[in-house]
Copies of this chain bind each other. A is one copy, B any other.
Amino acid sequence: MYDLILANFARHVHLNEDEQQAVINRLQPKTYQRKERVLNAGDICKAVSFVVKGCLRLYHTDDNGNDHIVNFFAESWWAADVASLYSQKSAFYAIDALEDTDVLRLGIDSLEELYSFSPKFERFFRILTQNGFVIYQRRMTSAMSRPAIDRFHNFQKLFSDLEQRIAQKYIASYLGITPEFLSTMKKEKAKR
């Protein structure tokens, strides 16, 4: 049950027995049904969710009611509205489930206890934030300089199997284009 999350910590820090127990004791397993909300925009994000199985999306709904997906969180990703989590102010983004999804939640209080328990935890989440910083910086550059078809290919590389698991309209939303245009793009591509 906890293998996946411990392996994930191990990618950046080496936790001893006590530290592993400290995490495990604080994890709250939870299952979300497909389409169930994890976080509402405007609410305060009070936990970070490690995805064990399934897939969540982080997205913004604009004034015209159109969704714009910022990121997918499939297996071994950590999901949260980071701005809201760390400031404990209301969230700009919303989170919901694209598939039935099992997560392990760490509340903000648990998170801070872990920071006090061992600096390794602060280090681990600092590295996650740094990686996120880099991911979004690059995706922003890509959004502004690359045509949609290139961004689609990047998506395919980064999320390989996800394309088969979720509706195309979500992929279009992640790419910043309409579902119609994604459809025509794929047809064009197949023709050649």
Q: Per a CB cutoff under 8 Å, which of B122, B126, B136, B175 touches A136?
A: B136
Give Cα A68–Cα B141 distance, bound, in whole angstroms. Answer: 7
Q: Using Cβ atoms and an 8 Å threshold, which residues of chain B touch A140?
A: 70, 136, 139-140, 143
Minimum C-beta distance from A77 to chain B (A): 15
Give Cα A111–Cα B138 distance, bound, in whole angstroms. Answer: 24
Query: How extensive is the interface on chain A, given as a class?
Result: 20 to 34
Q: Which of A126-144 contact B (CB under 8 A)?
A: 126, 129-130, 132-134, 136-141, 143-144
A83 in the interface, Cβ–Cβ < 8 Å?
yes
Residue of B nearest to A68 (CB): B145
A152 in the interface, Cβ–Cβ < 8 Å?
no
A3 in the interface, Cβ–Cβ < 8 Å?
no
Q: Using Cβ atoms and an 8 Å threshold, which residues of chain B touch A92?
A: 138
A176 and B145 in contact (CB under 8 A), knowing A82-B130, A83-B134, A137-B136? yes
Minimum C-beta distance from A138 to chain B (A): 7
List residues of chain A with CB under 8 Å of any chain B CB.
60, 62, 66, 68, 70, 82-83, 86, 92, 122, 126, 129-130, 132-134, 136-141, 143-145, 175-176
Q: Contacts A60-B141, A139-B140 known; list 20 others, CB within 8 Å.
A: A60-B145, A68-B141, A68-B144, A68-B145, A70-B137, A70-B140, A70-B141, A82-B134, A83-B133, A92-B138, A122-B122, A129-B129, A129-B133, A132-B137, A133-B136, A136-B136, A140-B140, A140-B143, A144-B176, A145-B176
